[in-house]
Amino acid sequence: MDDGTADGRPVGGTEYSWCRAVEGGTGITVLALLLSRPVSRPLLDSALHQLQSSHPLLRAHLVTAASRHPFFANATPRSEVLRLLSSSDLLLPPPASASAVSVSPFHALLEHEFNQNPWSDGGPTHQVLFATLYEMPEPGRYTLALRLHTAVCDRTSAVAVLKELLALMASSGEGIHGEADGFNRGIDDLIPKQDAWKPFWARGKDLVGYSLNALRTSTLQFKDAASERRSQVARLVLGTDDTQKLLTACRKRGIKLCGALSAAAMVATRASKQWDNDCYETYSVITLIDCRKYLDPPLHDHNIGFYHSAIINTHSIHGGEGLWEVAERCQCSYSTAMTNKKHLKDIGEVNYLILTASGKEHPSER
């Protein structure tokens, strides 16, 4: 499925939102593979070349010249895509402070990739994919890092890219789902008309509602807002037994996992402020929805691009509420929004909010 244009196409509304957001550091997708044994550079270059040949959007250049609307320009895959670097020049020594958290070299490289932002330098054109092979401190170990503009790679696309790259490395190109010569259209152009339409007054009402809720939303204060901004990765790991208990409790109550996790985050955030129980805090929950199956025509997981939309729900939490009480509210709000197709009807309003937020500076953002 393509739009009939092999040379390129303008970015869609959702993609344009990411083009604006990435200037401040939000909108960078990173895939990192820790390789347990050496892999030849020609093999990796060949696999990346074939991956870009199968998915034209991954070899595109994002043209952001000020004279026109940003667009994706088709480009010929380069024979050598991969850069080779040594991690020893990038990794910092272990933190001297006892309270500081020490991370593995692989974790540190992942964060390093997140903080490399070629799309913020104001240049007229950029690649959408950067590939780097890092030589790790341990002998014979390497990390392959792919850094992509989020406008061309959502979570589903990232999983597809990972699977196809591993298949290419293992079987010399067998099993690849090739796409058409042109670029897939953006999500905004593929939403069925009956699902995208709503009255003008309703659109205005929703936009005002989203804006007012954004003003009511509470934030977490940064203890150090003066240091240089950088992205870091936080990981929460549940053991097998705890994971099974959580899933069983969700099934018993008819609550999706996203509702339980959203509730846990809000309850924990509210508790961290150590206020009286009768004090309310307002939080917004943003749930990303993979819309591929709702589009016209429907897309598959191997259709590369950004085809997620967002559902935004706002909740007021006080100190006396329990986890499952809040989770039920999250589940109810989420189900109602999906039934009313808010993930399709409100995509324009959500894009407007992202554009508005991207134009403002705040110490706690990004």
pLDDT at 121: 84
Q: What's the topology of domain 189-358? A: Chloramphenicol Acetyltransferase (3.30.559)
Q: What residues of the chain score a pLDDT lower than 70? A: 1-6, 66-67, 79-80, 89, 91-101, 172-182, 359-366
Q: What is the CATH number of domain 8-185?
A: 3.30.559.10
Q: What is the spatial distance between Cα 180 and Cα 191, in angstroms, rounded to a whole number?
A: 20
**155 CB-near residues (< 8 Å, 6+ apart):** 288, 290, 308
pLDDT at 273: 85
pLDDT at 75: 84
DSSP H or E segment with residue 147: strand 142-149
Residue-range domain boundaries for the chain: 8-185, 189-358
The answer for 274, left when phi > 0, alpha when psi is -120 to 50, beta otherwise, is: left
Angle at 91 between CA 87 and CA 93, to 5 degrees: 140
The structure tokens listed for 244 are: 């099974």
pTM: 0.89
Q: What is the spatial distance between Cα 244 and Cα 250, in angstroms, rounded to a whole number?
A: 10
| Contact in structure between 300 and 235 (CB atoms under 8 Å) | no
Q: Where are the alpha helices (DSSP H) in the chain?
A: 13-21, 41-54, 105-114, 155-171, 193-196, 200-216, 240-253, 257-272, 323-339, 342-345, 347-358
State the pairing for strand pair 82-86/129-135: parallel
DSSP H or E segment with residue 71: strand 71-73
Do 189-358 and 8-185 have the same topology in CATH?
yes
pLDDT tens digits, 222-271: 777 788 888 888 888 899 999 999 999 999 999 999 999 999 999 999 98
**Count of C-beta atoms within a 10 Å radius of residue 193:** 7
Phi, psi of 121 (to 5 degrees): -85, 0
Half-sphere exposure of residue 142: CA atoms within 13 angstroms, side-chain side = 16
